[in-house]
Amino acid sequence: MNTLHEYATIDSLRAALAVHRQAGRRIALVPTMGFLHEGHLSLVEEARALADVVVMSIFVNPRQFQPGEDFEQYPRDLAHDRALAEARRVDMLFIPEVTEMYGGGDEMRIVPRETAARWEGEFRPEHFEGVLTVVAKLFNIVQPDVACFGQKDIQQYTLIRRMVEELDFPIQLHLGETMREADGLARSSRNVYLTPEQRVQALAISRALRAVEGAFEQGELDAAVLRGIARDILDGEPDLITDYIAVVEPERLAPVEAVDAGSVVAIAARIGSTRLIDNVILGDEDV
Ligand code: PAF
């Protein structure tokens, strides 16, 4: 398949997917909120290698934004997204309106517990409930064989993995590595909010992660020491306010005292009104 087909309703998408399923084709889902960048597009490439048909959803999900967050201002450019999706050979684009996604009612939610309460959850209390609810809906609508998510949102991915395991979704998950600008800044749709000066200061986040990774490779396993290395670099940028430096195990993102390969170091920091997150999996070749 090569021509991009677009669907705005659940029924029309399901009817088209039924044809592929009957033909025995494997279906991959790449869920996004649009304003596509290389992070999303590299997931499409990986999805193509894992399945016959690539479905991308573009839906800015109001339920995962806290009151006062940037739901209204969240960058949107559907025409550009369509062009990029077509160029990267997405087969099916699902672009529902809010009424299509949530027209069925407002009573039900997927409510995660422990893993969602920490880190991002402390700063965005209902965020993961909104994420998991929309992802569960997308899984039910598309019924993909495989679904692809980016490592930048590691807590989101961890919770989706838990949801798939605990609620028995018959779906394989694929984690795509974080895509970065040439200077190391993790690709994010929200990077457009940064002024040139803020962007320079924001580089301290990936610099801190690189330094932690380097120290780990030199044999440093003490989480407090690694956190201190990151803290010193982040504190060097006066306008950068660190929300957390998490040094955690990968299953539930609980803090650890000593790291090993597979431990996750995640940072969230604010600059002006923009909140940025990034992370590294120790022992991985990232950053
Ligand atoms: O990562 C995102 O862009 C969103 O959280 C997702 C997974 C598309 C759900 O709205």
Residue 284: predicted pLDDT? 84
Kindly report the backbone phi and psi dihedral angles of residue 205, in degrees, each rounded to the nearest multiple of 5, phi listed first: -65, -50
Residue 285: predicted pLDDT? 65
Q: Is the CB of 56 under 6 A from ligand 1?
A: no
Kindly report the backbone phi and psi dihedral angles of residue 175, in degrees, each rounded to the nearest multiple of 5, phi listed first: -105, 120
Parallel, antiparallel or unpaired: strands 92-94 and 146-150: unpaired
Cβ-based neighbour number of residue 75 at 10 Å: 14
Residue 206: which residues within 8 A CB-CB, separation 6 or more? 180, 184, 185, 186, 278, 287
Q: What is the pLDDT of residues 170-180, one digit of tens each?
A: 999 999 999 99
Ligand 1 pocket check: which of 40, 56, 58, 64 to mutate, most ligand atoms within 8 Å of Cβ?
64
Q: Under CATH, domain 189-280 is a member of which superfamily? A: Pantoate-beta-alanine ligase, C-terminal domain (3.30.1300.10)
Q: How close is the Cα of 219 to the center of ligand 1, in Å?
A: 35
- pLDDT by residue for the chain (287 residues), tens digit each? 568 999 999 999 999 999 999 999 999 999 999 999 999 999 999 999 999 999 999 999 999 999 999 999 999 999 999 999 999 999 999 999 999 999 999 999 999 999 999 999 999 999 999 999 999 999 999 999 999 999 999 999 999 999 999 999 999 999 999 999 999 999 999 999 999 999 999 999 999 999 999 999 999 999 999 999 999 999 999 999 999 999 999 999 999 999 999 999 999 999 999 999 999 999 986 55
pTM here is 0.97
User: What span, in angstroms and rounded, lies between the C-alpha atoms of 50 and 28?
Assistant: 7
Residue 231: predicted pLDDT? 98
Strand, helix or coil for residue 66:
coil
Q: Is the CB of 32 under 6 A from ligand 1?
A: yes
**Which atom number of ligand 1 is nearest to the Cα of residue 33?**
3
CATH number for the region 5-176 comes to 3.40.50.620
User: What span, in angstroms and rounded, lies between the C-alpha atoms of 72 and 131?
Assistant: 17
**Which atom number of ligand 1 is nearest to the Cα of residue 59?**
10
Of 20, 24, 19, 28, the residue nearest 51 (C-alpha): 28
Q: What is the pLDDT of residues 79-88, one digit of tens each?
A: 999 999 999 9
Active site residue 40: yes
Domain pair 5-176 / 189-280, same fold: no
Residue 133: predicted pLDDT? 98
The token duo for 266 is 């995640």
Residue 87: which residues within 8 A CB-CB, separation 6 or more? none
User: What span, in angstroms and rounded, lies between the C-alpha atoms of 266 and 121?
Assistant: 13
CA 79 → CA 82, 97, 129, distances in Å? 5, 16, 30
- Which residue reads 């195990």 in tokens? 249
Q: Is the CB of 135 under 6 A from ligand 1?
A: yes
Strand, helix or coil for residue 109:
coil
Catalytic residue from among 40, 80, 127, 174: 40
Residue 106: predicted pLDDT? 93
Q: Between vectors from CA 231 to CA 218 and to CA 123, what angle results, nearest 5°?
A: 125
Residue 260 CA, chain-centre distance (Å), reads: 24
Looking at 63-126, list the stretches that DSSP marks H as alpha helix, in order from N- to C-terminal side.
78-87, 98-102, 114-117, 120-123
The token duo for 115 is 């893993």
| All structural domains of the chain with their residue ranges | 5-176, 189-280
Residue 2: predicted pLDDT? 66
Q: How close is the Cα of 52 to the center of ligand 1, in Å?
A: 22
